[in-house]
Structure 1
Amino acid sequence: MHYPSAPATPAVPLRSLSFHLLDANLLSCRPGTVLPEETTETYTLLINKSGKGQLYSDSKRSLFAGQSAFLFIPGSSFQLERKDGLALEYYRIQFAVTFIDSWATPAAYKEALFPGRSELRVYPSSQLIEMAQQLYSGRSDQDGMPSFENNMRFLKLIGFLLEHNLVTDSKTSSTQAVERTIQYMQDHYTDKITVKWLSVKASLPSGQYSAVFKELTGKKPLDYLTELRIKRAKEWLLQSDESLRDIAERVGFADEYYFNRRFRQTTGMSPRQYALAMRRRVRVRDWAGHEVTIPDQPRRIIFYGETIGDLLSLGIQPIGGDLWKQGRPFNAEKVSSLKPDLIIFDKEDEREYEQISRIAPTLTYNSYGPLEERLLTLGEWFGKEREAQQWLSHHAGNAQRMWQQLQPYIRPGETATVFVHHRGRRLFVMGNIGLTSVLYHPDGFSPVRKVQDVLQADRAYKEITEDCLQEYAGDRIFMLLPGSPVSRKAMEQTIASPLWQSLPAVRNGHVYLVDENEWNCGDAYTIERLLRMLPELIQHTS
């Protein structure tokens, strides 16, 4: 993976700034948990130690994984969610910055230290993690030398970050230098390129260059170059009937015999075998970025996810009975026995994907994505582009007619919010999936500003606390009735609370208690059904 070089940043008055460590903590997010949103009062640095997560900030979503470090200025808001099956561990370092002018007058500094970017990169990342661990271990509640020494360690860490991320005309970090050579390789992969030549171009010793390169890409330089050439060769093999010698020369290989050998090592087949196989199949890129070859007209399809109705709406009938039911673990033995020729899997879990893809070609699918995006994706995968467009056009007409029918019952600009208690007693506001995909329509309800932030961040939901209800509640509230007894009891306690009773939607009688399983499914089939159910609900209670 290539990380583009950071753009040049405006000057930061480092000469006039003083940095002071306030606290350093090691925090964790256990499997199945979502951390509450935080608003920073100080500069806050997050450094990933282990695990993967999603980091939401200012309506943006970023991957928080190995090598990740993010800096937030005072007044910023962010929220972390664990991504894989492991606990997410990270360091949170808080500090203050003081600006001292030429008259020695101090003032709090709250501007961006790295304008235009919050994600930081350093090499080696292990050194940054080690520095963070030293700060955490050296914490002291007492004034004196221990506190002073820890602040000195902190200054060393800040200097390390500045050196690698504050771009100037006179100095470029080793990471940025290697990134430029990666871009060069992508643009000039046909050239004769050696590690020695690349290291000279980056002004680094060969050993250091290769180490930085592998940390950035996960590969050795020449292996990365070979992959670039093989990838382009695959395209030529499918687009032309040129000889292997000509294709080898086009992509930078010295001769066709070496090209043939490296191609077979990479793909498991010869170039010509690959071309014949691919012309009978469809090659696509799935949600997680895997390039997957779909068999020609697959018949035995297994869907493992939450939006089976998407496939059914296009006339695609998966096999496997109840394998796709929500919450059921993937049964590899049963799936293998069904001998599928394609599996569709709606999670971004690489470990589980690796297990599943051993059974049959596997596509990851974003069940939480917009309905139009999902159906067009399925249309591309299965040669049903026309059917997908027809279904979407028909659905758009039905939705418009439904909202026109409801116009006498809805005031212009009315807002709506969907809440649910889930995973025990925890409270969530729904984002871009399920019932909200019907409610938020140009002729329907609008989201309140805080929910709009959730939608702009492309989030399916967001965990909130009850004392935030007023910020998220719209003119109309749809409270989903959970199936879990624990969650149902938490919901009943919420709607009996004085805070809930004070909400305008509650006082105006615009609260709808609807079954979660029936109303909060986001698949195409259920969304069409909601268009028939919603008018009756709104007209009956308005």
Structure 2
Amino acid sequence: MNETTTANTVRPNRLYVMKQITLHVQPASWQNEYSGGDDCCLIVVTGGSGKLTVGGTGFHLEKGKCFLLAPAEAAGMKADADGLSFYRMTFAVWETAEIGSYKALSEAPPCHGDMQCQPFSQCIDYVEAIYRLRDAEDEMTAFDRHVRFQELLRFLFLQHSSVQAGGNIRKAVEQSIEQLGERYQDSWTVDQLAAAAHMTRWHYTRTFKEITGLNPLDYLNGMRIDRAKQLLLMTDDRLFDISHHVGFSNEYYFSRRFKQTVGISPGQYRRNHREGIRVFAPFLEDFLVALGITPVLQCSHALWGKQEYLGLQHVPVFDLAADTIEDMSGREPDFIILDGGMERWLSPDRWGRLAPTYNMLHRGEDWRSTLRTLADLLGRKGSVPDVIAKYEQKAGEARAALGRSVRGKTVACLRFSALGSSLYAGPEHGYTGPVLYKDLGLEPHPLVRQLTGESRKANITPEWLSRLDADHLFITFDKRHSSYEGEERKVLDSAEWRALPAVRNRHVYEVDFLTWMNYGVLSHSQKIDDVLRVLA
């Protein structure tokens, strides 16, 4: 009997052998130079911050960063003021020369340099396990350490492979998103979506969120809700039929998800889009008027007055300080929108008994998002692009005009009350900063950023006020805390105030309180007019 032997050639295989792992907790300003040897070096940062310099290129180090140095690659490390904590692992790369023998290589692994290591919690689990087993003497514990180290490298190398093939992965997920748009009614799970894209659930979810900003099922439900909105307005179909058509198997679950997403029930959404809805939106009237909606009532305050700039003289007034729900007899709204910041005056639970009520989480500086939300609630989404475009055109033209007249001059905005003085923040925060410093391009006085930081405003003491040598000052007065008429203006008689350059040069401009202490698009437009009138 003849025997046939089939020989399979085994391709050379690399083996990574860890030699040493050390934990370093270094103080501020520590620095060291590592000369490149025959081994690779993996650095995993666990705390503090610093800098790694490799071949003349600097890399920022902070918690969650990993860096792999190839053999013979020298590097310098330096800690910042908060110190630097990191693990350092050295390892050799071996390759099979022939069956049963290995030779050492002095070349880099498949990837090196600044490494992806997310989620970092998984990375640090591997590293800490290896560190705990560093002094292993028995064979099984040493083997366990070896296995953990291979798992760590596999974790890092797989992410590198994903980054290298990122274009293909991204394209696969984008195609998956298109498929969801076509088949949003189907019953989907994340595992099904990932399998269809030929990748792991973790990689699929991470890439999906990078593209859309949402997790897959949240994105899918958002698509279903958006389609349900269209059907609510285009048809008279029952909620049962609409919910099943868009992919919800249960009408009550659909209604709950709709309210969680939109803020009101599907039925109320449909009712709000009919003509002639009567809306009460205290101190959000600016947005209503911008959308072409006249509120059934306008809000007022005994000390502040009402928003005169809106031109709602014919609209009845509701005084926050004096009127109650009972005073609305005969003027009941169909729908109430409350600003989340108004709860001290208007309880959502109580007003909800008068009419369906939407309690808005006011986005403040992001007035465009507020405008879009209200437009969606009230059936005016088509008006939004025009409103925003008109504002941006006006701001752009004003910015160009002011650039010629106030170049190099500094500006600040102050609010005075009987309780003290407030300085309003820079380009990103507050009622005034985004308009003055971002939209109009004016230069904030250095104290604006120094004192306010990430806050919308900061209390400013007489000592700091004396240092506010801005070229131009916009001021407004809050009467709410005054016990007698004019108390909030006492600061104007102080020596610190009278000595300011803007005061001496008559470059102080008093502006309307409710116009400037407001986030509405029409309010911002009026601020632009006020600035142009005195500075252009």
- TM-score band by shorter chain is 0.3 to 0.5
Q: Which has the higher contact order (CA 8 A, sep 6+)?
A: 1
TM-score of the pair, normalised by structure 2: 0.44
User: Which entry has the higher C-alpha Rg, 1 or 2?
Assistant: 2
TM-score of the pair, normalised by structure 1: 0.44
